[in-house]
Structure 1
Amino acid sequence: MFGDMMNMMGKLKETQKKVEETKKRLDTVLIDEKSSDNKIQVSLTANRTIKSIDIDESLLEDKEQLEDYLILTLNKAIEKATSINEAELAAVAKEGMPNIPGLDMFK
């Protein structure tokens, strides 16, 4: 039994290391999102760090319109990044979870 517990602890540490490696890798995964008319383009990592924003000059004349475009486009990009982030981390966590009876968290 003690050996099983040590094996589980080792597996959990290995999984934690893989999660950290996955987080680092997700810093290199870029998500690009554009507004429907291509007047705004944003790039962010799968860890939801904004890398760039490109704004068409025509939007600089209307503050309200620019704000609306930014909100819509950033939200779409963040939603995509979150989806990728959660799927990648869940896959690593599921792969590395020890088989503990009664603890079926990832069905």
Structure 2
Amino acid sequence: MFGDMMGMMGKLKETQQKVEETKKRMDTVLVDEKSSDDLLNVTVTASRIIKSIHIDDALLEDKEQLEDYLILILNKALDKAEGIYENEVAAVAKDGMPNIPGMDMFK
């Protein structure tokens, strides 16, 4: 039994390391989002860091419209990024969980 416990602890430590590596990798996964009329394009990482924003000159003439576009498109991009991040980290964590009877909440 003690050997099983040590094996489980080792597997948990390995899983924790894989989760951390996955989180770092999310810094390199890019998510692009653009407005339907292609006047605004944003790129964020899966770890929700804004990398670039491209604004068409036509939007620069209407501050209110630009603000609305920024809010809408940034929120869409960040929602996508969050979904990717959560799915990737959860998959790694689930894959690395030891088989403990009664603890099947991750399956």
Q: What range describes the TM-score normalised by the shorter chain of this pair?
A: over 0.9
Matched, 1:3 2:27: no
Superposition pairs of residues 28-107 of structure 1, within 5 angstroms? 28-107=28-107
Deviation at 1:73, TM superposition (A): 0.4
What amino acid does structure 2 have at the position aligned with 1:101? P
Q: Deviations over 1:16-75 (max 9, x none)?
A: 100011111111110011011001000010111000000111111211111100011011
The separation in 2 between residues aligned to 1:95 and 1:12, in whole angstroms, is: 11
> Root-mean-square deviation (CA), in Å?
0.8
TM-score by length of 1: 0.96
Distance 1:106 1:95 in 2: 9
SS of alignment partner, residue 105 of structure 1: coil
Q: Percent identity?
A: 77
| Paired amino acid for 1:45 | T
When normalised by structure 2's length, the TM-score is 0.96
Q: Distance in 2 between matches of 1:5 and 1:103?
A: 14
SS of the residue 1:3 aligns to: helix
Runs of 4+ in 1 over 3 A off after TM superposition: none
* Structure 1 CA distance for aligned equivalents of residues 36 and 5 of structure 2: 54
